[in-house]
Amino acid sequence: LKRFRDFWVPGLLDRKRREQWLAAGGLPLDRRLNARVLEILKEHRPKPLNQGQAQGIQEVLARAG
């Protein structure tokens, strides 16, 4: 596992040759990123805060306010 990151390939970057990339649809990086952002916004369901977290936020807001 020492060299794990050396072989990691990010899911949104395409390392195909240009011809292969075009044959697969040639979707530019900005459009792939935008599609992923929209997918995350649609599907993400945040976990509710526990009582301690909610209390901590209220304390910070009270001090700021």
Are 12 and 29 in contact, with CB atoms under 8 Å apart? Answer: yes
Show the tokens assigned to 15: 């390392």
Tens digits of per-residue pLDDT, 22-39? 998 888 989 999 999 999
Note if the pTM is more than 0.85: no
Enter the DSSP assignment of 38: H
Report whether 32 contacts 10 (CB < 8 A). Answer: no
Closest CA to 40 of 48, 50, 49, 32: 32
Strands (DSSP E) found in 1-65: none
Residue pLDDT, tens place only, 39-58: 999 999 999 999 999 999 99
